[in-house]
Structure 1
Amino acid sequence: MDGEEAQYFCHDFDWNDHRDEVEKDVSLHYHLLPFQESEQSPCSSSSASSSYPPSMDDTSEAWKRFHNRHSMGRFFKERRYLLKEFPELLSAHDYSKVLEVGCGNGSTVLPILRANKKIIVYACDCSMLALQRARDMVESSEDISADNQFHPFLCDISLSGLPGNMGSSGSFLGRFQDTEVLDMTSTIKCACSDESHSFLDGVDFVTLIFTLSSIPFQRMPFVIKECYSALKPGGLLCFRDYGLYDMTMLRLLPSQRVGHRAYMRADGTLSYFFSLEQAKELFCNAGFIVVLDE
């Protein structure tokens, strides 16, 4: 835009109006019906899981295959909007530690590292290929010190939790969007061997961006509790994910429903769509204090 920054809109319509419109649309009523597992059939794709609910191994393998198919990274766009949604990442004190859970190819990590030259990011994912892609993207950026700022490690948090003892007591803060409609058995191996850069003593921020919706609902409390244990007292968790009646949800077919507000794509990957109340309950049950934007 000739040097001008594009204007960012996080609330393009009224949530209540959108909800009413969706719930009055007869063609979309299948999204609202109680889920009857006995009436559902597996997705037709041979790559999708044939059992419901899918096992954690099936879910992890599906995401690994996903990253293999999109290894060039063109599927993802850099999430620059996160710095507007979570300005605390910009104003963090020097050498603050961030744990990015489910970093994928680095679309969340890059804008954080570019904006804050003294922040340290530890990033985990279940896919080694995704971690390598993230590392390559960070190293190719001339304004980031990859060795000092970025430490990726292989970890499927939904299966094995975080490595080591990351627990610390105290009160923590959770952060959510104030709208429900959002643009929303791996070996543990820590790539950083320098103990002075260890995140095992707690981090200042956890980012959980479009990660929670990708795992089975029954494992979400475990993952959230792991995030809670990783934070220092007073730390902040930045959460963004798919919301109820997101257009991504409305495009999914009845045959893709595998649970209440849960869907399986043809490639076996999962998507869950949260209501604001449900997201609050999940995080508060883990001990978080929820902070909402005005």
Structure 2
Amino acid sequence: MKDEPIMGCAEENPEEKPKCNPFGTRFLTDDAKVFEHNAWDDVEWSEEQQEEAKRIVENQKTMKVDEEKAIKLLSSPADQWDAFYAHNENRFFKDRNWLLKEFPELDVNEQCNSKKEKVEILEVGCGVGNTTFPLMQVNNSSPRLFLHSCDYAPNAIRVLKSQETYDPSKMNAFVWDITQEAPEDAPKPESLDYIVCIYVLSAIHPDNIRKALSNLIGLLKPGGTLLLKDYGRYDLTQLRFKKDRLIDGNLYCRGDGTLVYFFEMDELEHLLAEYRMEKKVMHVDRRLIVNRAKQVKMYRQWIQGKFLKPL
């Protein structure tokens, strides 16, 4: 995206809004200038917008997925993603080259003082490597970094490991449904410095999220960090769903059958507090994306957080 906002550093006081905004520094102070850039940060909704969003979601409840289809989708969520990657291979998602803007911790060479220190990272829901390979690239394939990548779609792991840049001496890609016990090729308990979850928890049925978090947190070292970004309640994606997409609550299915859940920030925070994870920073990224050619405004809401495992 052109004119992507420049990201800054994250304030570590969890009780305050970050003084150095981790999500951007372009703020819309004059509505007349809205189409001068492609994106604006921390755009607050009016009361009218909030009420309209609630009305849309309430109306979706009258057009829910039929029960038989819902049962089928919920019984095998991994199958839907596996079929997705079998069809799309590595042609669908773009590389996440914005990673260090929102998660500067992942710059291994900058964050660690000892040149001999080993840093182990697990990327969850890795797909075909749209985070894996950019992360290795920005770290210049540092010998200090070992990157684990997992996905519950076998076809995603197949495609990832088939890439020329996949290096088993620095990477470990494996199949794992994080709501189940970790396989033998997963990292050892309390071995990881960072776990990266980008649009991962939203792909899990809400009833299974606690089990997934328990499994993941068990792999973090004491003092290790969980980095997450996921869909916020009333994001444009949620409001655009039409008939036969709502399963229940705030859980939906896309046209390809994959699941997506939309979180409240307090909801995620309370879930992580159950596992004694210490909030470093948490923020709702309310971003206004603009199509300047068509003069269209699109309101996005994501939740980003950084949580520490107690020593």
Q: Same fold (TM over 0.5)?
A: yes
Q: Which residue of 1 aligns with 2:238?
A: 249
Given that 1:42 and 1:255 are in contact with CA atoms closer than 8 Å, whether structure 2 keeps it comes out as yes
Query: Counterparts in 2 of 1:75-90, with a 5 A limit?
Result: 75-90=92-107
Aligned-partner Cα distance in 2 for 1:254–1:21: 24
Q: CA deviation at 1:8?
A: 3.4
Q: CA 1:133–1:157 in structure 2 vs 1: closer, same or farther (change >3 Å)?
A: same
Aligned residue type for 2:6: Y
SS of the counterpart of 2:160? helix
Any conservation in 2 of the 1:99–1:203 contact (CA below 8 Å)?
yes
Deviation by residue 1:205-235 (Cα, 9 ceiling, x = unmatched):
1111111101111101111111111100000
Q: How does 1:102-117 map to 2 (within 5 A)?
A: 102-116=125-139, 117=142
Do 2:64 and 2:248's aligned partners in 1 also have CA atoms closer than 8 Å? no
The TM-score, its normalising length taken from structure 2, stands at 0.70
Give the Cα separation in 2 of the matches to 1:96 and 1:266: 39
1:69 paired residue among 87, 90, 95 = 87
* Matching of residues 279-290 of structure 1 within 5 Å: 279-290=268-279
Q: Residue by residue, what CA displacement relative to the aligned partner does 1:136-177 show, whole Å, maximum 9, x if unpaired?
A: 33x33xxxx71221111111112x23236xxxxxxxxxxxxx
Which residue of 2 is the match for residue 217 of structure 1?
206
CA distance 1:92–1:290, change in 2 (3 Å): same
- Distance in 1, matches of 2:72 and 2:60, equals 16
Cα contact 2:150–2:176 (8 A) shared by 1 = yes
User: Residue 252 of structure 2: which of 253, 263, 268 is its match?
Assistant: 263
Moved over 4 A (4+): 4-7, 32-36
The corresponding residue for 2:288 is none
- Structure 1 unmatched ranges of 5 or more: 44-48, 165-189, 193-197
Deviation at 1:247, TM superposition (A): 1.3
Higher strand share: 2
Q: By how many angstroms is 1:21 displaced?
A: 4.2
Paired positions, count: 244
Provide the C-alpha distance between the structure 2 equivalents of 1:241 and 1:98, rounded to a whole number of angstroms.
19
The separation in 2 between residues aligned to 1:255 and 1:235, in whole angstroms, is: 41
Question: Which runs of no fewer than 5 residues in structure 2 stay unpaired?
Answer: 8-22, 25-39, 284-311
CA–CA separation in structure 1 for the residues paired with 2:49 and 2:72: 27
Cα 1:65–1:16 change in 2 (3 A) is same
Q: 1:219 to 1:119 in 2, by over 3 A?
A: same
Question: Hey, what does 1:24 align to over in structure 2?
Answer: 51
1:127-276 superposed matches below 5 A: 127-137=153-163, 139-140=164-165, 146-158=167-179, 160-163=180-183, 190=185, 199-276=188-265
Is the contact between residue 31 and residue 254 of structure 1 (CA under 8 Å) also seen in structure 2? no
Determine the C-alpha separation between the residues in 2 that align with 1:213 and 1:108: 17
CA contact (8 A) 1:30 1:254 kept: no
Q: Which moved more, 1:220-229 or 1:90-99?
A: 90-99
Per-residue deviation, 1:109: 1.2
Tell which deviates more after alignment, 225-234 or 247-256. 247-256
Q: Tell whether the 8 Å contact from 1:228 to 1:287 is kept in structure 2 after alignment.
A: no
Q: Which residue of 2 aligns with 1:185?
A: none
Deviations 1:236-287 (A, max 9, x none): 0010111112111111114311121111112211111111111111111122
CA distance in 2, matches of 1:78, 1:59: 24
Cα drift, residue 32 of structure 1: 4.2
Deviation at 1:29, TM superposition (A): 1.1
Contact 2:65 2:246 in 1 (8 A): no
Mean alpha-carbon deviation: is it higher for 108-117 or for 211-220?
Answer: 108-117
**The residue matched to 2:234 in structure 1 has which SS?**
coil
Q: Percent identity?
A: 27
**Cα separation, partners in 2 of 1:200 and 1:283, compared to 1, 3 Å:** closer
